[in-house]
Amino acid sequence: MELPSVLATNMSHTAEMAAALVIGFGFGLVLERAGFGRADNLASIFYGRDFRVMRVMFTAIVTAMIGLYFFDLAGVMPIANIGILPTYVLPEVVGGILLGAGFIIGGYCPGTSIVASMSGKVDALFFVSGLFVGGLGFTAFYDVLAGFHSSTFMGRVLLQEYFGVSSAFMLPAVALFAVGALYAVTRIEAVVLRRLAAKEQKQ
């Protein structure tokens, strides 16, 4: 799959690979600096103590969404050129549940486990090993799982198409949802930390 910018700038394959390497390194460095290389920081979201994961991801999603919207309007990077995987509702729901369970048990998601392993976290190495074992298991038993894997197909779905509204409406709607969600988790975080502090003072 080519980067959308490759189609817009006629970038050579060598330049594309170099850009992907630089972007990947930068992304990993940002995740590490944001504290995403520590399982305790990541798992804290499930206990209401630290919502940095949600803050970073929502900020990244909204920033990317706004950028893509204006790039699409300018014709620099049409949304049609961006590779969007088709939607399979039931397999993705089950996959999301399994990913969430693995996240809270191991303290990492697939991407952050790579970041943590590169920074020397031993627990992350076990998690990465689990990714390979799971991938091999899925491949080995794919014939059994193929029917479920391809069920409830919806094709390439965008939010504005699904709800039948314009992208100009969906953009601020998603941004407002993100702002409201971030405000809500900030309040939740404050309450939880206050209760933890009070509990520690009693001990």
The pLDDT tens digits for 162-199 are 899 998 899 999 999 999 999 999 999 999 999 988 88
Q: What DSSP character marks residue 87?
A: E
Instruction: Provide the residue range defining the domain that includes 68.
Output: 34-83+163-203
Q: What is the overall mean pLDDT for the chain?
A: 87
Residue 2 in domain: no
- Give pLDDT, residue 6: 61
Residue 8 in domain: no
- Give pLDDT, residue 3: 57
Q: Is there a single domain that holds both residue 77 and residue 169?
A: yes
Number of domains in the chain: 2
Q: Is there a single domain that holds both residue 74 and residue 92?
A: no
CA distance readout (Å), 127 to 28, 106, 114, 117, 136? 17, 7, 9, 9, 14
Residue 134 in domain: yes
pLDDT of 159 strictly over 90: no
- Give pLDDT, residue 60: 87
- Scan for tokens 């009693």, then name that residue: 202
Contact in structure between 9 and 67 (CB atoms under 8 Å): no
Confidence (pTM): 0.76
Residue type, 201: Q
Residue 167 in domain: yes
Q: Is there a single domain that holds both residue 90 and residue 153?
A: yes
Q: Is there a single domain that holds both residue 51 and residue 109?
A: no
Residue 181 in domain: yes
Output b/e per residue, 128-147; b: 16+ Cβ within 10 A. Answer: bebeeeeeeeeeeeeeeeee
Percent of the chain scored above 70 by pLDDT?
A: 95
Q: Is there a single domain that holds both residue 167 and residue 79?
A: yes
CA distance 202 to 196: 10
Residue 19 in domain: no
pLDDT, tens digit, 9 for 90 and up, residues 54-111:
898 899 889 989 988 898 888 877 887 777 889 999 999 999 999 889 888 888 988 8
Residue 107 in domain: yes
Residue whose C-alpha is closest to residue 131's, from 111, 101, 145, 107: 111
Query: Would strands 153-155 and 87-88 be described as parallel, antiparallel, or unpaired?
Result: antiparallel
Contact in structure between 17 and 9 (CB atoms under 8 Å): no
Q: Is there a single domain that holds both residue 126 and residue 172?
A: no
Q: Is there a single domain that holds both residue 152 and residue 97?
A: yes
CA distance 190 to 197: 10
Residue 13 in domain: no
CA distance 64 to 84: 14
- Give pLDDT, residue 197: 87
Q: Is there a single domain that holds both residue 171 and residue 195?
A: yes
pLDDT bracket for residue 7 (50, 70, 90):
low
